């Protein structure tokens, strides 16, 4: 249920390799896997979620590698940080301007297409980043009543 692009084509490992090299990032098995996961799954995972997923294929991976790799990807500007929740960093390889909505029941983060945004009083400012973050409940959770009063979920 991606609200940005109904179904983006999957990137091959060769395409990922090309993309990393183009962005001045040396290749390693971990880097290929991590970026491939981010760009193809687009679930805005946390570092820990990425660690768990990669570990299935490459059990020797360390959490530090995931953090280092994500930091590198941020520096090279091929992923963006999503901070819907203050205490959890999530990572998104889709760079086009869009918003995020976190469902407080199931924890999923959905992409939002922004039709228009007009701001007042920005004369003289220089803007580098824009982030629009919503919190609420997704249709699935509303339907299945997957929430309590004021329900929160990691």
Strand partners, 91: 81
Q: Which helix (H) or strand (E) element contains residue 31?
A: helix 29-41
Stretch that binds DNA, among 64-72, 95-103, 110-118, 129-137 (CB under 7 A): 64-72
Site string for DNA, 44-63 (x = CB under 7 A): --xxx---------x-xxxx
Among 37, 43, 45, 69, binds DNA (CB under 7 A): 69
- Residues forming contacts to a copy of itself in the complex (CB under 8 A) are 3, 81, 83, 85-86, 89, 99, 101, 104, 110, 112-139, 142
- Residue 14 binding partner per list a copy of itself, DNA, none, with a CB distance cut-off of 5 to 8 Å that depends on partner kind: none
Distance (Å, rounded) from C-alpha 90 to C-alpha 43? 9
Compute the chain's Rg from CA coordinates. Answer: 17
Calculate ∠ Cα 70-72-74, nearest 5°.
70
What is the C-alpha separation between 95 and 16, in angstroms, rounded?
A: 15
- Contacts with DNA by CB under 7 A lie at 25-31, 46-48, 58, 60-65, 67-71, 86-89, 154
């Amino acid at each position: 249920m991606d609200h940005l692009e109904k179904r983006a084509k999957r990137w091959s490992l060769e395409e990922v390799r090309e993309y990393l090299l183009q962005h001045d990032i040396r290749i390693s098995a971990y880097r290929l896997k991590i970026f491939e996961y981010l760009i193809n799954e687009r679930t805005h995972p946390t570092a820990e979620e990425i660690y768990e997923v990669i570990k299935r294929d490459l059990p020797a991976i360390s959490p530090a590698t995931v953090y280092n790799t994500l930091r590198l990807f941020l520096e090279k500007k091929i992923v963006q940080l999503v901070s819907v929740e203050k205490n959890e960093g999530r990572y998104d390889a889709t760079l086009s301007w869009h918003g995020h909505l976190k469902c407080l029941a199931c924890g999923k983060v959905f992409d939002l297409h922004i039709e228009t945004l007009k701001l007042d009083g920005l004369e003289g400012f220089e803007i580098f980043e824009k982030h629009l973050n919503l919190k609420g409940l997704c249709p699935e959770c509303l339907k299945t009543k997957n929430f309590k009063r004021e329900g929160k979920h990691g």
